[in-house]
Each structure stands twice: as C-alpha cells, then as structure tokens.
Structure 1
Amino acid sequence: MAWWQLLLGVLAGSVLLYVVLLALLWGYARLHPDTVSAREALRLLPDVVRFIKRLAGDGSLPRGVRVRLGLLLVYLASPVDLVPDVVPVIGYADDAVVVALVLRSVVRAAGPEALDRHWPGSTTGLQLVRRLAGISASGPA
C-alpha cells in the first residue's frame, strides 16, 4: 500500500467519524430540546462563564475538577469549535453539550453545594444550570 493510500484512508475515516459525531450531536439536540432552550442558554452565558471561572479558582475543589473547568474555558474562548457556529442549530448545540457534560462531571466530583456556593446569577438561572447539570431540586438525577 502506497503512503498516499494510507493517508487517504485516514482522511476518509476521520471525515466519516466527524459526520457520525455530528449526527449524534444533532440527535442529542433533537431528543433533549427541553433541557435548556437556546434563548435561555444565551441569557445565561455571562453568568455561566463567571461561574466556571469561580469554580476553577476554588482551591478547595479537587485539582481534576479545576483542570476540566480550565480546559472548558479555553474551549469556549477558542475560535476553533467541534462544529462551527455558523452551522444552524448544531453550531451552538455543540458548545451547550460540552458545557453540560463538563458541568455534570464537576457536580459529580465537587457536589451540588459547589454550584450553590459559586453561582453569580439569579435563582432562576441557577435552576436552569442545575437542570443542565442533571440535578433536580432534590439532588443529582
């Protein structure tokens, strides 16, 4: 097998994997529209960014949690996305899914008390973030 055939195979496999991931993301966004709407997420964005910065700076949280939050901030600030934001629906959905997954992971490691302690916004916003993180009013989902 020539080097160019190998390179072509790797490229085709990468494109196929990317298309499959996009399809999964699209499916997730379509199956879970009630989690948090795009309008609600955009309204929450400034509070969520401040919240993530506060959590990342909390020395009482485990180092792994702070590292995940720091990487999330870098991802959100980066112009490079899994799906470009110009792609309708899933362009912003990928950011929301990544934030939700990291928040769920952080809540499992740090506990929901960390959410309550560091949330800078309104009570309504905190309820939306708790829903995004998979926490009901009575505890983790």
Structure 2
Amino acid sequence: MLASLKEQARQLKQHTLTVYFAARDPRTPILVRALAVVIAAYALSPIDIIPDFIPVIGYLDDLILLPLGLALVVRLTPKEVLESARAQAQQVSDRPISYGAAVFIFALWLVALWVVARWLLHLART
C-alpha cells in the first residue's frame, strides 16, 4: 500500500509539473491558463476551503479538488501542448535532487523569518 501511495504522489507531482508547463505555453488558451494558475495558487496557498486541522475531512479538498482541477486543465489543454508539457515535466523530474541547495534555501528562509521577527518586535516596543 505504501508503494501505491508513493506512486500516486509521484504521478500527482508529474501532473502538477505538466500543468505548470502547459500554463506557460503561449499555445494554451487563456482561460485554461487562468484555471491552471488558480489551481496552482490554491495548491500552494495556506488557506483551504476546509482547514487541514479538521480530522479526516480537512484533507478532502486537497485529495479531491486538486486532482479534479489538474484533470480539468489537462483535459482542456490542446493535445500538442500537453505532449510538449509532459516532455518538459519528465525532463525536470529526471534531474537529480540537490539537497545542498534545499538546505541553503531553507537557511535563507530562516534568516528572513528571523529578520522579520526582530523587526516586528522592534515595532512592538516603540
């Protein structure tokens, strides 16, 4: 079962990358591009329709709405654009993962959060 979940997660990542590249292609109709942007924004947004902290149903929007939205974008995208986007997504997913770069970016975020927290504390004192 764990292998099946890992495969489904890999496929979801692949579909997300495909939709991303399809949305960036100028041959994609503007409404499909807009839908792809909305779906990507929802996927990355910390605000959900149903908050994730609610047991069981909290993740239903992520498990149902996102795959349905991705499927809709894939269905509405022209075939030649979709093939090109899938090829680009495959190339990106085949690249090696740089854990060093991930640690560096994480450290940058920590420093940025520390600076913002200090600034807010300074504002609160004055």
TM-score by length of structure 2 reads: 0.52
Q: How far did residue 52 of structure 1 move?
A: 2.2
Q: How far did residue 96 of structure 1 move?
A: 3.0
- Over the matched positions of the two proteins, sequence identity in percent amounts to 34
Equivalent-residue separation in structure 2 for 1:42 and 1:53 (angstroms): 16
Equivalent-residue separation in structure 2 for 1:92 and 1:121 (angstroms): 27
Equivalent-residue separation in structure 2 for 1:108 and 1:46 (angstroms): 17
1:75 alignment partner AA: Y
Q: Structure 1 residues 107 and 42 mapped into 2: Cα distance closer, same or farther (>3 Å)?
A: closer
Paired residues, number: 86
Equivalent-residue separation in structure 1 for 2:12 and 2:60 (angstroms): 13
Q: How far did residue 110 of structure 1 move?
A: 1.9
Structure 2 gap ranges (5+): 92-126
Q: Structure 1 residues 70 and 94 mapped into 2: Cα distance closer, same or farther (>3 Å)?
A: same
1:107 alignment partner AA: V
Indicate yes or no: 2:29 matched with 1:62. Answer: yes
Q: Which has the higher contact order (CA 8 A, sep 6+)?
A: 2
Structure 1 gap ranges (5+): 1-36, 123-141
Bigger Rg, which one: 2
Equivalent-residue separation in structure 2 for 1:110 and 1:97 (angstroms): 20
For residue 98 of structure 1, what is the aligned residue in structure 2? 65
Equivalent-residue separation in structure 2 for 1:110 and 1:55 (angstroms): 7
Q: How far did residue 102 of structure 1 move?
A: 2.0
Q: Deviations over 1:73-114 (max 9, x none)?
A: 111111001122233443333123222332333234224554
1:30-49 superposed matches below 5 A: 39-49=6-16
Aligned-pair Cα RMSD in Å: 2.7
TM-score by length of structure 1 reads: 0.48
Q: How far did residue 54 of structure 1 move?
A: 0.6
For residue 41 of structure 2, what is the aligned residue in structure 1? 74
Higher share of residues assigned helix: 2
Equivalent-residue separation in structure 2 for 1:85 and 1:40 (angstroms): 23
Q: Structure 1 residues 40 and 112 mapped into 2: Cα distance closer, same or farther (>3 Å)?
A: farther
1:100 alignment partner AA: P
